[in-house]
Amino acid sequence: MTTSMQLIIDAEAIAKRVRELGANISEHYGDEPLIMVCVLKGAFIFFADLVRAMPIEPEVDFVRLASYGAQTSRKERILFTKDMELPVQDKHVLVVDDIVDTGHSALYLLNVLRMRGAKSLRVCALIDKRERREVDVSVDFPGFVLSEGFVIGYGLDYAERYRHLPAVYTLNADV
């Protein structure tokens, strides 16, 4: 099997959208204290660009989630492999993810942060695959909405490859 890549969002379009998101997010929170949580690993490049596109000063923190799926039952167990370090109680929290796809992992994280007493919870994602959602999670600040395709680059991987690419591509398996 070989694979081919097709450019779908170039670096310039990403930079423009990140500037818009940074402005929208800053305007939304204003002077309210904000914790931005980067969901590792996929969001690391997006997150670094986004915080630098914001005139307001957020606190930053990082989580990493792993899902252990029994593929056949569609029941997934999601765990933190790295938890946050900052307390979120009574703080506005913005989760920054690479992709919200089925929504299972984002829902897990939002539920945990809600139980810990976050004052408000919102989600920003570089890519919102909203048509594929299986649970009720909405992306408050979506970068790009995609309906199909497996995407890589700008932090997104396939089997830990392609994260370094400065743009977003679809990855096609040519069998």
Catalytic residue among 61, 101, 136, 140: 101
The verdict on whether 174 is a catalytic residue reads no
For residue 91, count other CB atoms closer than 10 A to its CB.
18
Q: Which stretch binds ligand IMP (CB under 6 A): 56-64, 87-95, 99-107, 110-118?
A: 99-107
Spatial distance between the Cα atoms of 47 and 156, rounded to a whole number of angstroms: 12
Asked whether position 98 contacts ligand IMP by CB under 6 A, the answer is: yes
Q: Which stretch binds ligand IMP (CB under 6 A): 13-21, 23-31, 44-52, 151-159?
A: 151-159
User: What value, to the nearest 5°, has the Cα angle with vertex 119 and ends 114 and 123?
Assistant: 65
Asked whether position 128 contacts ligand IMP by CB under 6 A, the answer is: no
Asked whether position 97 contacts ligand IMP by CB under 6 A, the answer is: yes
One character per residue 19-58, x = contact with ligand IMP (rule: CB under 6 A): -----------------------x----------------
Residues 87-126 that bind Mg ion (CB under 5 A): 98
CA distances from 172 to 6, 103, 154, 158, 169 (A): 8, 23, 17, 11, 9
Q: Which of 103, 143, 153, 155 binds ligand IMP (CB under 6 A)?
A: 103
Q: At its nearest, how many Å lie between Mg ion and the CB of residue 106?
A: 9
9-41 as b/e: b if 16+ CB within 10 A: beeeebeebbeebbeebbeebeeeebbbbbbbe
Spatial distance between the Cα atoms of 29 and 66, rounded to a whole number of angstroms: 30
Positions touching ligand IMP (CB under 6 A) are 42, 97-106, 150-152, 156
Residues identified as active-site? 101
